[in-house]
Amino acid sequence: MAGPMLSVEVRTALEKLDQRDLLAHFDALPKAPRSRLKAELEGLDWGQIEQVRKLLLAAPSAAEAARLEPAPSKKKGAVSDDDARAKRRGLELLEAGRVAVFVVAGGQGSRLGYEGPKGCFPASPVVGRTLFEIFAAKIRALRERHATPLPWYVMTSAGNHAQTVAYFEEKEFFGLPKEDVSLFPQDMLPAMSPEGRILLAAEDRLFLSPNGHGGALWALRTSGALEDMRARGVEEIFYFQVDNPLVAMADPVFVGHHALEHAQMSVKVVAKRSADEKVGVVGRIDGRFGVIEYSDLSPEDLEARDESGQLRFRDGNIAVHMLRRDFVESITEGGLSLPFHLARKKIQAFDPESKTSCALDGVKFETFVFDAMGRADRCVVLEVDRDREFAPIKNAEGEDSPESSQRAQTELFASWLEAAGVAVPRDAGGRANCLLDIDPAWADSLDALRDRLSQQSRLDIPAGGECILP
Ligand code: UTP
């Protein structure tokens, strides 16, 4: 049948990877669906696909139990001289234009169930500022205060790239210079059957998913972002996730601790709320830095306490990192060199033989950015206050939901207002009895709020009411 031909490289890759069924299906397709499938196949990184297929088909080896230990960490606020020194260094780097910020927003956000890129989700308590608006406002505040260009890199994925770009354009880049904002998609990988057959979602579409947040490091290289950073003189990258409106953007104390210790990659953590909080903890795995999954700790280790009575493994990972640009360059030298993790699940796939869609056993492949810590010889683990810096929106309700995040945002704003001398109504349980929203471009910290309020007349917040600042 006449129709567009596959490039020789992709046809050879498919043959090499034993995908004869897919090739036969492709060759039998009419022209229009064939061109759509061709475009998808030719947009993939076949090196990565070969790698994951090999991993999938490898005979399971009896893995030796890894040696798991806590890693040394420091607590922000514990030693004020240390923090002050770090802050000075962080500010020097910011003011010299050595720092960039990088948000990963390529995930599918399936737990939240929001139609559209998660960054467009209205996250702030009263105004409903979206996550991207909140981040942009924080970036604007820093740019103005420290006269820093603070370029912003945004990683998307095929499923949300066009919508994200359209949103940034519609909002005119939130008042940021367009040349200081870059958006680029990460790579996608096809799901496979347990036997290594590439799965289709429809006759003209593969079943694709983003290659995990670890793909961010590779995408920095392939998109040209690393080169752009180098040209701008950026040395340090502040990495964060799209779902946390409380992120302390380019926190100078964190930037400074990381730089003063000559760390290649650093991480922020929060103390676990309880032994059974299901969060990965930062620690050492066979001597190397890494994140120990909840399920990899024995019941004894989960409960173990140190001399001070605190949980021995307590440093919950909040996925806020500092990465040296040259570290990212070196670990992506020969490709995306992070280990792939397999997720086995039922997949609604298109069967080319019966031409119907059915639930099949499938395998998806992901990389995790925190695995890069295993490649760093030096890493600062900085414990921060959860109430001040971490209120993610992951689920539609309950824990880590829009509601819990908005409550945490209100509580943080309430604590700032009270510290600045404003009365905040509270209920009998001590919770702020109101909803508060502060534009981060106006005041992104207690200090900034104090400055602003000294210029403003009295502020009355009614019990049960709402207050928007400014
Ligand atoms: P999550 O682990 O929360 O995954 O991502 P998710 O896909 O967003 O959400 P669920 O699990 O489907 O509900 C943590 C962060 O990593 C980014 C997400 O956008 C989020 O900022 N991420 C995740 C990527 O950028 N790419 C990926 O492939 C996966």
Please say if the pLDDT value at position 456 is more than 70.
no
10 Å Cβ neighbour count for 413?
Answer: 24
The verdict on 364 and 465 lying in the same domain is: no
| Ligand 1 atom at minimal distance to the Cα of residue 110 | 12
Q: Is 61 in the pocket of ligand 1 (CB under 6 A)?
A: no
Q: Does residue 379 belong to any structural domain of this protein?
A: yes
The answer to whether residues 10 and 131 belong to one domain is no
pLDDT in tens, 319-361: 999 999 999 999 999 888 899 999 999 999 999 989 999 999 9
What's the one-letter identity of residue 212? G
Q: Relative to the CA of 155, which ligand 1 atom is closest?
A: 25
* CA separation for the pair 140, 142 (Å, rounded): 5
Cα of 355 from ligand 1 centre, angstroms? 32
Q: Is 145 exposed, middle or buried (0-12, 13-18, 19+ CB in 10 A)?
A: middle
Has residue 1 got a pLDDT over 60?
no
Residue 81 sits in the same domain as residue 191: yes
* 242 CB near ligand 1 (under 6 Å): yes
pLDDT, tens digit (0-9, with 9 covering 90-100), for 106-144: 999 999 999 999 999 999 999 999 999 999 999 999 999
Query: CA–CA separation, 48 vs 407, rounded Å?
Result: 42
Last residue of a domain, one of 349, 376, 394: 394
What is the extent of the structural domain holding 166? 62-394
CA of 27 to the centre of ligand 1 (A): 35
Residue nearest to atom 10 of ligand 1 (CA): 109
* Mean pLDDT for the stretch of residues 198-219: 97
Domain count, the chain: 3
The closest-lying atom of ligand 1 relative to the alpha carbon of residue 242 is 21
User: What's the 218 CA to ligand 1 centre distance in angstroms?
Assistant: 16
* 373 and 458 co-located in one domain: no
The answer to whether residues 336 and 452 belong to one domain is: no
Average pLDDT over residues 371-391: 98
Substitution candidate for ligand 1 out of 115, 186, 213, 242 with most atoms within 8 A of CB: 213
Q: Measured from the CB, is residue 151 less than 6 Å from ligand 1?
A: no
Residue 266 lies in a domain: yes
Do 22 and 167 lie in one domain? The reply is no
Q: Provide mean pLDDT across the span 169-183.
A: 98
- Is 271 domain-assigned? yes
pLDDT one-digit tens code per residue, 25-77? 999 999 999 999 999 999 999 999 999 999 999 977 777 889 999 999 999 99
Q: Which atom of ligand 1 is nearest to the CA of 186?
A: 26
pLDDT at 286 over 60: yes
Answer whether 104 contacts ligand 1 (Cβ < 6 A).
yes
The whole-number pLDDT of residue 305 equals: 97
Closest by CA position to 149, among listed 228, 50, 244, 40: 228
Report the candidate in 89, 84, 138 with the shortest Cα–Cα distance to residue 255. Answer: 89
In a domain, 121, yes or no: yes
Across the chain, mean pLDDT equals 96
Are 2 and 333 within 8 A, CB to CB? Answer: no
In angstroms, the CA 218 to CA 323 distance is 13
Give per-residue pLDDT as tens, 287-312.
Answer: 999 999 999 999 999 999 999 999 99
Q: Is the CB of 232 under 6 A from ligand 1?
A: no
Ligand 1 pocket residue status of 49, Cβ below 6 Å: no
Average pLDDT of the segment spanning 245-272: 98
Could you give the C-alpha distances from 169 to 133, 173, 328, 380, in angstroms and in order? 13, 6, 29, 37
Residue 50 lies in a domain: no
CA of 246 to the centre of ligand 1 (A): 17
Provide the pLDDT for residue 64: 81
Q: What is the mean pLDDT of residues 199-212?
A: 97
Looking at residue 60, its pLDDT comes to 79
In this prediction, residue 59 carries a pLDDT of 79
405 and 314 in one domain?
no
**332 and 447, same domain (yes or no):** no
CATH number at residue 358: 3.90.550.10
**pLDDT single digits (tens) 386-435:** 999 999 999 999 999 999 999 999 999 999 999 999 999 999 999 999 99
Q: Is residue 431 assigned to a domain?
A: yes
Q: Are residues 385 and 405 in the same domain?
A: no
Q: 19 CA distance to ligand 1 centroid (A)?
A: 29
In terms of Cβ atoms closer than 10 Å to its own Cβ (0-12, 13-18, 19+), residue 294 is: middle
Residue 406 lies in a domain: yes
pLDDT over 70 (residue 457): no
**Residue 105 and residue 2 share a domain:** no
Q: Is residue 317 included in any domain, yes or no? A: yes
Do 436 and 300 belong together in one domain? no
Question: Which ligand 1 atom sits closest to the C-alpha of 209?
Answer: 28
CA–centroid distance, 33 to ligand 1, in Å, is 30
* For range 373-396, the mean pLDDT: 98
Residues 186 and 316 occupy one common structural domain: yes
**Atom of ligand 1 lying closest to residue 106 CA:** 25
